[in-house]
Chain A
Amino acid sequence: MAGESGGESNRTNAFVVSARKRTMQKVAKKAGESLLFTVASFVAVIVLFIFYFVARDAVPFFQIRGFTEFFTSSNWYPADDPGEFGALAIIYGSLMVTLGSALIAVPMGVAAAICLSDILPFSIRQYAKPIIEMLAAIPSVAFGFFALVVLAPLLQNNGGPMLMWAWWILVSPFMLLAVIVLSDLLTTKIIEPKRRQQLHIFLLILFSFLSIFLLFKVGTVLYGIQILTGTNALNVSIILSFMALPTIVSVSEDALQAVGRDIREGSYALGATRAETILKTVLPAGSSGILAAVILGIMRALGETMVVWMASGNSSQIPEPWFNYLQSIRTLTATIAGDMGEADQVTGSARFHVLFAMGLLLLVISFISNLISERIVVRQRKILSGQ
């Protein structure tokens, strides 16, 4: 009897948790939650701490030397006594290689992402994407070594011909497109078919000759260029664009995939061709993701240190003329890396703090561009959702 009733109570207790167990579970739940919260907030706190500590060491520089010299002079002689801390040329160099790498990496990266998501069959994409992402796994010092040992001598010895080929390969498809479109556009208004055809052919030939002339003329000018030093802004821009590519391709391909099959099929159902679908439907819908990818890629180029330290030549000058990518430049990151060894609190105070001022500047630049991209993404999302 007693045993029976004991069995009965056991059976009900299988569903009712004992008080002790319940407290244990509560405690475990709270502990788990607080642990996760701690870890998550830790990341945010780290960012704040970085800002705080960099700013703490950057402010004394501006107190000692003021703002004018840092932002308006390009005399960078930190080791002299008294030192000069004009960072204008260095800031300019950073922006120059960032822009250069973006000019190369963004069109290539977005084009590759479109190709991966909408043009290549799945079986090829499966292999192509991981291979592109492999680029991100190559350590930056290897890229730098390549830039210094392979690309720099190549640019010095065969720079002119290389520039010419790059010009031909990059520009001739666009020229072809322009010739066809232009001669089409200029003849659409003529109604009489025979005259239109004659004029069309005439314009096609004229424009072809013009564009071939332009291609060769600029080509020969480029061919004649003698690149003095291979460690220059162009070299660094090329290498940085390779380093930014995997980020841009991978993130924007994800964005294009996220657009979804239904939108694409809707476009096809309305009679759009594949090109129209890609250009007018898929790209606008994925544009916020692509923009995020571009910003991430640019940040990668701006923050890269090893490659620029090895391959930019590190000369603190604004190139002459200002758009000359064939001269050596110096960037903020490379300056911080190169000068940190000597600059300590003991031997030169402004010299130490100026590097933190540069770090703060880099932080502020990336912070602002992140904010901008965030705003654009939010706005884009609102537009797309029709609000």
Chain B
Amino acid sequence: MIKKISLFVVLLVVSLSVTASAAVGALVLDGSTTVGPIAKTFAAYFTKKYGVRVTVSESGSGNGAKSLINGSCTIATMSRAMKAAEIAAARQKGVNPVASVVALDGLAMVVHPANPVRSLTKAQISGIYRGTITNWREVGGPNARIVVLQRESNSGTEESFKELVIGKGVQITGSAETQSSNGSVKSRVNSTLPAIGFLGHGFVDGSVKVIAVNGVFPTVATVKNGSYPVSRPLYFYTNGQPAGLVKQFVDLPNSAEGKRMITELGFINR
């Protein structure tokens, strides 16, 4: 009996260690859903070119940072810079996070295509998200209560939005609905007439209407020259200065091929 159990345990341990060791030698990416499309396209390209297996998970920027700290991914994709607390936690575990900018992204404010509002100021958007402006009438729209959509707390997009538009330490109203991805924000805005939400620039398509912020629409030019107020860099984070395969992957945005892929996905080259 005991012999059988110990044999089983040995088998289990062996099989586990085999699966664990199989991941070594491949690249593992984890993090932002916004950077996800770039990471996936790069991964496919990389696998084709170098024959290296690249795994991409999209669990939110916060999770990406966590994975890098725990050593469960080689590259963390993030749509915001690492926070001081995260860097401190990484140092404590002997991980030295190094950032490299992949691309630039404008956060597009989106509404339902039938919404007549064309432009909002940053102050108006901030008011809507803080709950001081609750009706579209107050910002030049029809008489309808505003359905405010935000992202969940482990989203880098959410944190960038808070930092860029509302300001640090200010709370978003409790009646704001929480969505778990760019895609679900888009589909909710598309199906809800009085909704407002924000999306990474690369996710915008004809199903939603982009409005101008302070009179400026998010385009390649306005994001690049900084005149669009709600834009941010996207990052690859590695443990220490990248070397070897990791370096080749992180340097992809510098190559002509990488730049083409980024543009095709609707992001903006830095």
Using CB atoms and an 8 Å cutoff, list the residues of chain A in contact with chain B.
31, 74-81, 89, 148-149, 152-153, 156, 228-231, 309-310, 313-317, 327-328, 330, 338-339, 341-342, 344, 346-348
From residue B8, how far is it (CB to closest CB) to chain A in Å? 14
Chain B 89-132 interface 0/1 with A at a Cβ cutoff of 8 Å (1 = within): 10010000000000000000000000000000000000000000
A sample of 24 inter-chain contacts (CB < 8 A) reads A77-B171, A81-B169, A149-B187, A152-B188, A152-B191, A156-B193, A228-B144, A228-B145, A228-B147, A229-B195, A230-B191, A231-B177, A309-B180, A315-B176, A317-B175, A338-B153, A338-B154, A339-B154, A341-B62, A342-B60, A342-B62, A346-B66, A347-B86, A348-B85
Task: Tell me the nearest residue of chain B to A84, going by C-beta.
Answer: B171
Tell me, yes or no, whether B244 is within 8 Å of chain A by CB. Answer: no
In the complex, how many angstroms separate the beta carbon of A235 from the nearest chain B beta carbon? 12
Chain A residue with Cβ nearest B190: A153
- Interfacial chain B residues near A229, Cβ < 8 Å: 147, 177, 192, 195
- Interfacial chain B residues near A338, Cβ < 8 Å: 152-154, 178, 180
Interchain CB contact under 8 A, B174 and A74: yes
Let me know if B169 and A80 touch, CB within 8 A: yes
Q: A75-B174, A229-B195, A315-B174 given. 11 additional CB < 8 A pairs?
A: A80-B171, A228-B144, A228-B145, A228-B147, A229-B177, A313-B177, A315-B176, A341-B152, A342-B153, A344-B66, A346-B86
Given A156-B193, A309-B180, A347-B89: A89 and B153 interface contact (C-beta under 8 Å): no
Q: Please report whether the interface of chain A is mostly helix, strand, loop or mixed according to DSSP.
A: loop
For the complex, is B59 an interface residue (Cβ under 8 Å from A)?
A: yes
A38 to chain B, nearest CB (A): 11
CA distance A6 to B177 in the complex (A): 89
Contacts of A228 in B (CB 8 A): 144-145, 147, 194
CB neighbours (8 Å) of A153 from chain B are 191-192
B66, B69, B187 — most chain A CB neighbours (10 Å): B66
Query: Among the interface residues B62, B69, B86, which one has the most CB atoms of the partner chain A within 10 A?
Result: B62
A314 pairs with B177, CB closer than 8 A: yes
A92 to B218, CA, bound (A): 40
A341 and B178 form a contact (CB under 8 A): no
Q: How many pairs of A and B residues are in contact by the CB < 8 Å rule? A: 92
**Which chain B residues border A78 with CB–CB below 8 Å?**
153
Chain A nearest CB from B196 CB (Å) reads: 12
CB distance from B89 to the nearest CB of A (A): 4
Q: Could you tell me the distance between the alpha carbons of A347 and B188 in the complex, rounded to whole angstroms?
A: 31
Q: Which of A31, A74, A148, A346 has the most CB of B within 10 A?
A: A346
- List B contacts of A156 (CB < 8 A): 191-193
CB within 8 Å for A341 and B59 given contacts A228-B194, A314-B152: yes
Q: Within the complex, what minimum Cβ distance (angstroms) separates B36 from chain A?
A: 14
Q: Are B194 and A341 in contact (CB under 8 A)?
A: no
Q: Are B178 and A313 in contact (CB under 8 A)?
A: yes
- CB closest residue in chain B, given A339: B153
Closest to A156 in B: B192
A346 to B1, CA, bound (A): 42
**B180 x A230 contact (CB < 8 A):** no
A70 to B48, CA, bound (A): 52
- A315 adjacent to B178 (CB under 8 Å): yes
Residues of chain A within 8 A (CB-CB) of B49 are none
Complex Cα–Cα for A315 and B195 (A): 14
Contacts of B231 in A (CB 8 A): none
Distance of A346 Cα from B67 Cα, bound (Å): 12
A371-B7 Cα distance, complex, nearest whole Å: 41
Q: Give the chain B neighbours of A148 by CB distance below 8 A.
A: 184, 187-188
A74: chain B residues at CB < 8 Å are 174
Q: Cβ of B174 and Cβ of A341 under 8 Å apart?
A: no
Minimum Cβ distance to chain A for residue B201 (Å): 23
Chain B residue at minimal CB-CB distance from A318: B174
For residue B63, CB closer than 8 A to chain A, the reply is yes
Q: State whether A231 touches B188 (Cβ < 8 A).
A: yes
User: Chain B 211-241, CB within 8 Å of chain A: the 1/0 string?
Assistant: 0000000000000000000000000000000
A228 to B175, CA, bound (A): 12
Contact residues in A for B3 (Cβ distance below 8 Å) = none
Given A228-B147, A346-B69, A347-B89, the answer on whether A315 and B153 have CB atoms closer than 8 Å is no
Contacts of A81 in B (CB 8 A): 169
Q: How far is the CB of B170 from chain A (nearest CB, A)?
A: 9
B49-83 CB contact bits vs A (8 Å, 1 = yes)?
00000000001101100100100000000000001
What 7 pairs across the A-B complex have the smallest Cβ distances? A342-B154, A314-B178, A346-B89, A342-B62, A313-B177, A79-B153, A341-B154
Bound form: Cα–Cα A314–B193 in Å: 19
If A80-B169, A317-B175, A328-B177 touch, does A341 touch B147 (CB 8 Å cutoff)? no
Digitize B175-207: 1 where CB-to-A-CB distance is under 8 Å, 0 elsewhere.
Answer: 111111000100110011111000000000000
CB distance from B59 to the nearest CB of A (A): 6
Q: Are A341 and B60 in contact (CB under 8 A)?
A: yes
Of chain B, the residue at the smallest CB distance from A312 is B177
When distances are taken between beta carbons in the complex, the residues of chain B under 8 Å from A330 are: 178
CB distance from B169 to the nearest CB of A (A): 7
Complex CA gap A77/B178 in Å reads: 13
